[in-house]
Amino acid sequence: MTNDAKRVVVVTGGSRGIGRSIGLRMADLNTRVYFNYSAADSTDAEETERLVEDAGGSAKGARVDVASRQEVQEFFNHIVKECGRVDVLVNNAGITEDGLMVRMKEEYWDRVLGINLKGAFLCTQAVAKPMMKQRFGRIINMTSVVGVMGNAGQANYVASKAGLIGLTKSAARELAPRGITVNAVAPGFIDTHMTADLSEKVKEAMLAQVPLGMMGQPEDVAEVIAFLASEKASYITGQVIHVNGGMYM
Ligand code: NAP
């Protein structure tokens, strides 16, 4: 990267929650943040753009479904055309559609795997070529503590997050010769929209499993992402970094 070029960071699912925190943490004068989201007329996305700009950075959001190959390809083509490079990809977009496995509808399985796992694969494919050409890149996949522990009622989500760990390790091996690192971050129980709807009973049961006795904040995760995305993490690849208050050790 030449000294005058700005670092280009792409965060999927960056309109709120952990993704927004990552955009904010990365925001500085020398970074251009791009993010996507899925909701029509997203006020969250506008708010994220504003917050990043207030923090002295620049962020552009686009409505792009990560499960659509065509939308993903157009999104990255546009970024590469505008900036000439992509330095960091954070595959953060994710959803849940919970239910006991024996009763789980096939469409819930397909939807969660399509967004959480195939979405990360499509985005990784889209950035691999420009990153290989520039001989530098950082790819970070957002898995989950349940991807290594399992969780009743989340067979589809857990399968997608465990799959992301396999994708991380394979991509790390394939892309290492071109100076690209690929790692995964596995958050535990983080205070976002995704966990906001859980009943108090479920929250209490989850917290009972956390030695530090509290939920994590999106900023706790964003800090680790920022480190893995930095030059300082150049000798780390194919790893899963846990941010879970000790829930899994
Ligand atoms: P969140 O607040 O629900 O945010 C999810 C983000 O993903 C939103 O920006 C959402 O945009 C976007 N998104 C959803 N479907 C998409 C699609 N098809 N295409 C593009 N973007 C899409 O969730 P969060 O808690 O911040 O979670 C972020 C990541 O961390 C997820 O991968 C999640 O599995 C993982 N994680 C979270 C926790 C936790 O406790 N919160 C724990 C472990 C792992 P719209 O709102 O526009 O749909």
Q: Which domains does the chain have, with CATH numbers?
A: 7-243 (3.40.50.720)
Ligand 1 centroid distance, CA of 92 (Å): 6
Protein residue closest via CA to atom 16 of ligand 1: 38
23 in contact with ligand 1, CB cutoff 6 A: no
Q: Are 90 and 120 in contact (CB under 8 A)?
A: no
Active-site residue, selected from the candidate residues 108, 157, 235, 248: 157
123 in contact with ligand 1, CB cutoff 6 A: no
- Look at residue 63 and give its three-state secondary structure: strand
Q: Which helix (H) or strand (E) holds 187?
A: strand 180-187
237 in contact with ligand 1, CB cutoff 6 A: no
Q: What is the mean pLDDT of the chain?
A: 96
The verdict on pTM exceeding 0.95 is yes
When pLDDT is averaged across residues 47-74 and rounded to a whole number, the result is 97
Protein residue closest via CA to atom 38 of ligand 1: 190
**Residue 153 Rama label (left phi>0; alpha psi -120 to 50; beta):** left
pLDDT value for 86: 98
187 in contact with ligand 1, CB cutoff 6 A: yes
Q: What is the DSSP letter of 6?
A: P
Ligand 1 centroid distance, CA of 15 (Å): 9
pLDDT digits (tens, 9 = 90+) for 126-148: 999 999 999 999 999 999 999 99
Query: SS3 letters for 133-174?
Result: HHCCEEEEEECCCHHHHCCCCEHHHHHHHHHHHHHHHHHHHH
Report which of 64, 63, 72, 33 is spatially closest to residue 49, judged by C-alpha positions. 33
What single letter denotes the amino acid at residue 71?
E
Atom number of ligand 1 nearest to Cα 142: 32
Structure tokens at 197: 């709807």
39 in contact with ligand 1, CB cutoff 6 A: yes
Kindly compute the dihedral angle of the four CA atoms of residues 15, 69, 77, 17, in this order, to the nearest 10 degrees: 10
Report which of 198, 241, 243, 193 is spatially closest to residue 220, judged by C-alpha positions. 243
Gyration radius of the chain over CA positions = 17
Structure tokens at 227: 């480190």
Atom number of ligand 1 nearest to Cα 91: 32
Active site residue 34: no
pLDDT digits (tens, 9 = 90+) for 226-237: 999 999 999 999
Q: Are 148 and 244 in contact (CB under 8 A)?
A: no
Q: Which residue has the tokens 């479904």?
A: 65
pLDDT value for 3: 45
Q: Are 69 and 126 in contact (CB under 8 A)?
A: no
pLDDT digits (tens, 9 = 90+) for 97-122: 999 999 999 999 999 999 999 999 99
Atom number of ligand 1 nearest to Cα 66: 19
Helix, strand, coil shares, percent, the chain, to 5 = 50, 20, 35
User: Residue 1: pLDDT band by 50, 70, 90 thresholds?
Assistant: low
Ligand 1 centroid distance, CA of 3 (Å): 33
pLDDT value for 240: 98
Ligand 1 centroid distance, CA of 130 (Å): 26
